[in-house]
Amino acid sequence: MNEAADGPLPAILRKWIWVAVFAIAFAYVESAVVVYLRRIYFEGAFEFPIATVWENGRHVLDPLILVEMGREAATIAMLAAAGILAGASALQRFCFFMVAFGIWDIFYYVWLWVILRWPENLMTWDLLFYIPLPWVGPVITPVVIAATMTAAGSILIVLAGKGTIIRWRWYDWAIEMGCGALLVVAFCWDWKNILRVPDGTAHSGIPNPFAWWLFLPAYLFALLYFAVRLKQTIREGRPPGADGRE
């Protein structure tokens, strides 16, 4: 491996470390805000059913729910901004965003456990997001996705730092984003029950069994596809002389 390929790596690693520091610190802020909101809106509980109000067949949103939606949107914007500032190319910016998001999401639960000893375990149900519908799932599901995003983004960042040309085609993005959309559908699958929609069904508001039948195939296919394409792009994008030949 030549010196030119090695040169950018330390700088990229320093950026990775600072992005990680930002994500861990931001995760504490996020978890603290959630503790406050839960105390104000959900009486301090992390349990289901969540408070919902329906009048004349319409969902009446409490003003704090609107604040929560804005907070969630602002959170994504801040994590994306961290990726944009750290990356030097479009792909690298997205990879740093994945790292920031993944570490933030993992440490969000770490800090909640430190503060409240919650969640009790990885199968504890949680309300993940509220945009545009409530995302609900066992804690292990967002943690697994976050760990995968962190690993995938980090791998691509390191490869680019070593001089590997990453060729990620439009259809690669389409396939991975399509799998991501299916994961979102899995989280929102039980939304009528969670919001206790007055549609003639006696909804309890307690999460039903998670849609593993949709989550696992989408997650595993996305992971397998990434691994196959990663192997191909390493072989095709290896810099001259990296295999010992000029």
Residues in the chain: 246
Are 164 and 238 contacting, i.e. CB atoms less than 8 angstroms apart?
yes
pLDDT at 19 over 80: yes
The span from the CA of 99 to the CA of 94, in Å, is 9
Position 40 scores a pLDDT of 74
Out of 2-16, 31-45, 68-82, 102-116, which region has the weakest mean confidence (pLDDT)? 2-16
Per the model's pLDDT, the better-predicted residue between 46 and 234 turns out to be 234
Q: What is the DSSP string of 114-151?
A: HHH---SSTT-EEEEE-SSS-EEEETHHHHHHHHHHHH
pTM of the model: 0.87
- DSSP bridge partners of 174: none
The span from the CA of 57 to the CA of 160, in Å, is 53
* Domain residue ranges in the chain: 3-237
173 confidence band (pLDDT: 50, 70, 90): very high
pLDDT at 79 over 80: yes
Segment 68-81 shows an average pLDDT of 91
Give pLDDT tens digits for 95-152.
999 999 999 999 999 999 999 999 999 999 998 988 788 999 999 999 999 999 999 9
Q: How many CA atoms lie within 13 A of 114 on its CB side?
A: 10
Position 3 scores a pLDDT of 38
Position 1 scores a pLDDT of 38
Six token digits for residue 79 = 């994590």
The span from the CA of 103 to the CA of 22, in Å, is 9
